[in-house]
Amino acid sequence: MENTIYIEYSFTVLPLQPATDILIAELGEVGFESFVENETGVQAYIQKEEFEEGMMGSIDILKNTDFTISFEKKEIEQENWNATWEANFNPILVGEECSVRAPFHEKPQVTYDIVIEPKMSFGTGHHETTHMMLQMIIDHDFEGKSVLDMGSGTGVLAILAAMKGAANVEAIDIDNWCYHNAVENVERNKVQISVFEGDVSLLNSDKMYDVVLANINRNILINDIPAYAKCLKPNGILFVSGFYEDDIFAISEICNSCGLKFEKNISRNNWVAVKYVF
């Protein structure tokens, strides 16, 4: 792969929350693809060829006078981004049993030791939504189950499902870089997962799943949940995240219209992960 040029925005945010979460959500909506949070705010990245100056005009939180948000912008080569990430990436623990770490961290004493080199892909477990999805997966029985991870990023959710005994796991991401990164992480963790580049258009009723995992965002979920529901087996389960507590009603409404019933949710910092059952 050639060395892509990224635009890096380093935001300083006061007070940090909820402004940082809102800022990340809004930047994600316009196409920023990766975020590194720190004690003063967040660094956000977008490929130079995807970036247009006008995008920043639609980030409403920057105009909100309840918060003070300043930023610096610079161009950065992908390999330098990786170095930034390595310096900032600490291993994380999800419950007592699961950790997500980089290859250069010491091996921890846990049942599920997930090793991820995310490069530019979302999914290290540091974000609330990934953390909660991992928690939901830990609490669920995956033995022998067929699983689809939609919007797989690094592949972290699919990898945990496979480690928990899922028999047939597929991962799909729309982003070419995420696709390559998930393939690498699958090999690194020695699990069997078929990874595809694409979106909901890859789904069809010839392939049915016991569980669908989708940590994407509110609008894509509202659009795509009917297609996920069509490829869920009877009694199938849908785990979703990537949206706020305030959005549960809208997501549940679309799920209900597809025959999926709310079972439970967990939340962290206003973000939620929700379990629906057929």
Ligand X SMILES: C[S@@+](CC[C@H](N)C(=O)[O-])C[C@H]1O[C@@H](n2cnc3c(N)ncnc32)[C@H](O)[C@@H]1O
Feature table: binding site: 130, 151, 173, 215
Residues 223-252, interacting with ligand X (CB under 6 A)? 242
Closest contact distance (angstroms) between CB of 121 and ligand X is: 6
Closest contact distance (angstroms) between CB of 66 and ligand X is: 26
Which residue in 22, 24, 193, 216 binds ligand X (CB under 6 A)? 216
Instruction: Determine if 136 is a binding residue for ligand X (CB under 6 A).
Output: no
Q: From edge to edge, which strands make up the β-sheet containing 5-14?
A: 34-38, 41-47, 5-14, 68-77
Judged by CB under 6 A, which stretch of 2-10, 12-20, 88-96, 214-222 contacts ligand X? 214-222
Instruction: Determine if 199 is a binding residue for ligand X (CB under 6 A).
Output: yes
Closer to ligand X by Cβ: residue 12 or 25 = 25
Instruction: Determine if 152 is a binding residue for ligand X (CB under 6 A).
Output: yes
Strands (E), the chain: 5-14, 34-38, 41-47, 68-77, 92-94, 98-101, 112-115, 146-150, 168-173, 194-197, 209-215, 232-244, 261-268, 271-277
Closest contact distance (angstroms) between CB of 248 and ligand X is: 17
- Cα–Cα distance, 67 to 50 (Å, whole number): 27
Instruction: Determine if 123 is a binding residue for ligand X (CB under 6 A).
Output: yes
Instruction: Determine if 22 is a binding residue for ligand X (CB under 6 A).
Output: no
- Cα–Cα distance, 229 to 208 (Å, whole number): 10
What token pair was written down for 71? 């930023």
Which residue in 13, 133, 191, 232 binds ligand X (CB under 6 A)? 133
Helices (H), 44-95: 78-88
- Cα–Cα distance, 234 to 195 (Å, whole number): 24
Contacts of 177 (CB under 8 A, 6+ apart): 1, 4, 119, 120, 121
In whole angstroms, what separates CA 220 from the centre of its chain? Answer: 13
Closest contact distance (angstroms) between CB of 264 and ligand X is: 18
Instruction: Determine if 220 is a binding residue for ligand X (CB under 6 A).
Output: yes
Residues forming the site for ligand X (CB under 6 A): 121-123, 129-130, 133, 150-153, 156-157, 172-175, 178, 199, 215-216, 220, 242
